[in-house]
Structure formats: C-alpha cells, structure tokens
Amino acid sequence: MTDLALPLPRAWRTARITPLAEILAPGRIAATAVRLAVQVFLVTCLWRALYANTGSSAGLVKEQAVSYAVLAALATRIRGLDRYTARDTVIQHIYYGTIVYWFLRPLPPRRYYLYRALGDQAYGFAWAVAAYAICRLVGVLEAPASAGAAVAFVVSLLLGQAVLYYLTLLTDLLCFWTIQNSSALLILQFAQNLLSGAYAPLWYFPGWFVAMSAVLPFQSTLNVPLSFYIGRIPLSDLPGQLAVQAGWVLALALGTRLLWRKAAARVVSQGG
C-alpha cells in the first residue's frame, strides 16, 4: 500500500465533513460572503449613527463601539455552519432514528461530536480571520488597544469558544430526553446572543442585567474577549476572567460527559 492509499487520520476525516459540504457548494460560499459583508456594513452604519451626537457612552467611544460590533458580527461566523439543510443535526438524527449509527461506529459518539465541532469552528475561524483582515484594511475596525490586549483577546476567545461548544452540546444532549427541542435551541440562541453581548455590549445594559450576566456562562463566550480587544476590561483583570472561563469549561465538560453516558443508555438498536 502506497502512502497515498493510506487512510487519513480519523479525526481529520471526521472534522472536514461539514466544511467540505460548504466548499463544494459555491453558492453557499457566495451567500456567506454577501451576508457577512452586509451584516458588517449595517452594524457599522448603525453604531456610527448612534454616536453621531455623543463622544462616549457607557465608557465606550465611537471607535470602540464600532469595533466591538464588527467583531461580534465576525464571531457569528465561527459557529455559523448550517447542518440543518443536510439533516445532520442531533435533533434530526434523533427524530429520524439515525442517531443509533453514532453509537455503532468504532468512533465513540462523544468524540465524533467533538471532531465535527472542531472542523466547523476551524472553518468558521478561517472566514472570521479573512473578514477581519479586510475590515482592518478598509478601516471599519480599529487595532487592538495594545499588544497585551491582543494576546488577551485571542486566549479569552478560544476559551469562550470552548464554553460555547459545551453549551451547544448540553442543549443537543437534551434531545435524548425531549426528542424535540427546537424551542430550547431557539431559546439558547436568543439567550446566547443577548447575554453574551452579541446584540450590544453588556456595558449598555442596566446594572442588574450586568450582575445577572456575570453569574452565567454566556458573557464568557463573547463579551469578555471583545472587551479585552477594545480595552474596556483592563489587562489586570485577565487572570480572574480566564479563571472564570476555565471554570465554566471544566464544569460544563464534566456535566456533558455524564449526560453522554446517560444518553447512551437510552439508545436501543434492533435488527441487523
């Protein structure tokens, strides 16, 4: 057997499934580019208009607010791959009964889910990085507040994506008990966008709302890393913020690992 005939590593073959479906459909790529460009254009116009008659608000100047909004729009691409059209979401697999194949493969379902998510996020990161470079080039996005802020942003963003992965996994695992959880998915998506600061920086909300968000994991996924980028959170707070994010990752990882075991006990395969 030649080197070319050797199978690709299992993780790589699994991770590339959804990105390949996107790459092999030029229409999807064009639609994604247009949608992202329009989204960035609209949020830029909106936040510039909001700051037309004021110098600063909630501790943010216009450049910081616009940069935050643009970065939030780009971050949506990291988790924006569409599996629903191909009937490849957990909720669809459970509804049609095909989820049983996840438990019959040599690859454990928990690891299969992880590899797929890593592939999706890697593809999304490629889009986000390319769009970031273009936004910096055309001047709609400011540079990080400092070199330290850039490092803090990257580290915090990676931890935030890990938190988001486990939150999404937690919701998907609920399908094993509810069968249909489309409403829960919509609620999670809305809560994630609102409480993470995707719609607007949390600094603009009332104090009670900010306090409530502080005890939930959602702001760790977006508001914290973006606040480091624009300099709204000082670098002196970095150790504490990273500790909170890491704590959520650990707690959610342990919780979802237990749920995977309980979910496996609910899957029944009949016939050959």
**How many residues appear in the chain?**
272
Position 217 scores a pLDDT of 94
Q: What is the pLDDT of residue 218?
A: 93
Q: Which residues touch 19 (CB under 8 Å, ≥6 apart)?
A: 81, 119, 120, 122, 123
For position 5, what pLDDT does the model report? 41
Burial 207-237 (b: 16+ CB within 10 A, else e): eeeeeebeeebbbbbbbbbbbbbbbbbeeee
Instruction: Note the pLDDT of residue 192.
Output: 84
**Residues 247, 265: Cα–Cα separation, whole Å:** 28
Tokens 């504490």, located at residue = 240
Categorise residue 139: left if φ over 0, alpha if ψ from -120 to 50, beta otherwise.
Answer: left
Q: Quote the pLDDT of residue 7.
A: 47
Please list the pLDDT of the chain residue by residue as tens digits (272 residues): 343 343 457 788 888 888 888 888 888 888 889 999 999 999 999 999 999 888 888 888 999 999 999 999 999 888 766 677 667 888 888 888 888 888 888 888 999 999 999 999 999 999 999 999 999 999 999 999 999 999 999 999 999 999 999 998 998 888 888 766 677 777 877 888 899 998 888 988 998 998 999 899 999 999 999 999 999 999 999 999 999 999 999 999 999 999 998 888 877 554 44
- According to DSSP, the residues that pair with 56 across neighbouring strands are 61
Question: pTM score, two decimals?
Answer: 0.89
Task: List the structure tokens of 85.
Answer: 């059209």
Spell out the alpha helix ranges (H) of the chain. Answer: 10-15, 17-23, 26-50, 62-75, 90-96, 100-104, 109-138, 147-173, 175-178, 182-195, 207-214, 223-230, 238-264
pLDDT of residue 236: 95
CA distance 63 to 142: 7
Q: What is the model's pLDDT at position 94?
A: 83
Output the pLDDT for position 150.
96
